[in-house]
Structure 1
Amino acid sequence: MNLKKWIYLLWTTLVVGAVVSLVAGLLLQWTHTVQLNGTADFFVNMAILLGVGIMVSVYSQMGFFAYLMLNYMGSGVFSKVTWRYIQIGLTVLALMELLFLRVFLGEEKNGISDVVLGIIILVISCVTAYLKVKATNNSAWIPTLFFMISVTIVEMVGVLNIGVDQATVWIGAPLIACNAYQIMILHRLLKPANR
């Protein structure tokens, strides 16, 4: 990957995060979870939604590059088969933590929200992994699921600790969209240019 491709990834991910945050925020407004007092509040709120989406996309990019480093080190230290089993184990643990451990072992009061979020992350991750495999090869299935489930859940720990469903939607939607976008475009960016 060269600097031009990295800048392309940066800007397009910023746009994905901003647009998804804006859409999620506007949907939350229509459900009357946010009270606005006039046109000025509406436009200020739109600017805030775009800004939060941009910040979430930068956070997503940090997680993506951390995943790339972890994947590089893991595949260098362990054999391919061992590294795949480690990824599967970590993915199952992250999903179990979100779906069950936070509810049964923690003092979480909104357990149904965590279960719904876990199911949404699982479904989106499976669809993303399926599309990634169709675009590349079968070996992309486990790393894509690992990134989309484990890394996304780790990135969402802060907003999950808040325990407010609207905040989870507002941060989670652009985060999941940015993660899916980055993993789906990676093989295109790494493809050598035709000469």
Structure 2
Amino acid sequence: MTSRKLVNFLFKTFMIGGITGLIISFFIKSEDYANYISPFDFIEVLGLVLFFIGLGLTFSVVSMTGFFAYLFIHRMGLNLFRSFWPTVQVLLIAFVLFDLVYFPYQATNGEVAVYWYILMAAALLAVGWIVAKRKAKETNKHAFIPALFFMVVITTVEWVPGLQVEGTDYAWLMVAPLLACNTYQLLTLHRITKSDEATQSENQKGTKAPKKQAGAKKA
């Protein structure tokens, strides 16, 4: 991957996080917007917009950090566990999904029904499953489990600060940019590397052609 493509990749991830943070704020913090829309206060509305864009940008940085950490973890897992690495990833996925239900429910002392946490974990698994299926379709079937691992386990690790805050607003404001950025990174990286490989192969063919022509002239 060239430096130009890497910068473009990171910049787009950055922008996706900011835009997603702003969009989700319209739903999660609609009351805050409503307070300054009627009567309309341009400065306050602009302040809210900039704040939530900045919040989304911050979470996009968390996502990028998690993504590059995942690339290292995946390579280390292959070297350490070898053929057992897919099984280890499945076990970690199951463990994290269980934690998403059990520990938050225990922290509320039963004040929040457990099925809400089950739905939250199921929704994360569903999104991860869809993205992983797309990744496997565009690359190969062996990419499904690593992609699901990234979307479930790594996203949950990145999401921990949002889960520790009281209330659900911050959790939603955080998870939406994380999922958007993680999805983009996961589904874009192989496309960039494929285009680089195609360019290299074309360049190699171009350098071989003059040699063949030169040989033909000597004959």
TM-score normalised according to structure 2 size:
0.81
Partner of 2:175: 172
1:99 maps to which residue? 101
Q: Which residue of 2 aligns with 1:15?
A: 15
In the alignment, the residues of structure 2 paired with residue 118 and residue 163 of structure 1 have an alpha-carbon distance, to the nearest angstrom, of: 18
| Unaligned ranges ≥5, structure 2 | 203-219
CA distance in structure 1 between the partners assigned to 2:58 and 2:166 by the alignment: 20
Pair 1:75-2:74 in alignment:
no
Question: Contact (CA 8 Å) 2:89, 2:149: kept in 1 or not?
Answer: yes
Asked if 1:156 is matched to 2:179, the reply is: no
Q: Retained in 2: the 8 A contact 1:113–1:165? A: no
- Partner of residue 53, structure 2: 50
Q: Is the 8 A contact 1:64 1:179 kept in 2?
A: yes
CA RMSD of aligned residues (A): 1.7
- Alpha-carbon distance in structure 1 between the residues aligned to 2:162 and 2:42: 29
Q: Distance in 2 between matches of 1:131 and 1:157?
A: 26
1:112 is displaced (CA, Å) by 4.7
1:127 and 2:135 aligned: no
The range that moved more, 185-194 or 43-52, is: 185-194
* AA at the equivalent of 1:12: K
Q: 1:34 to 1:97 in 2, by over 3 A?
A: farther
Normalised to the residue count of structure 1, the TM-score between the two structures is 0.91
Match of 1:25 in 2: 25
Higher helix share: 2
Once the two structures are superposed, residues 91-129 of structure 1 have per-residue CA deviations (whole angstroms, 9 ceiling, x without a partner) of 1111110023432xx323445543332122111101101
Report the residue type matching 1:93 in the other structure.
F
Aligned residue identity for 1:82:
F
SS in 1 for 2:107: coil
| More relative contact order, 1 or 2 (CA 8 Å, 6+ apart) | 1
Match of 2:2 in 1: 2
Count of residues in correspondence between the two structures: 191
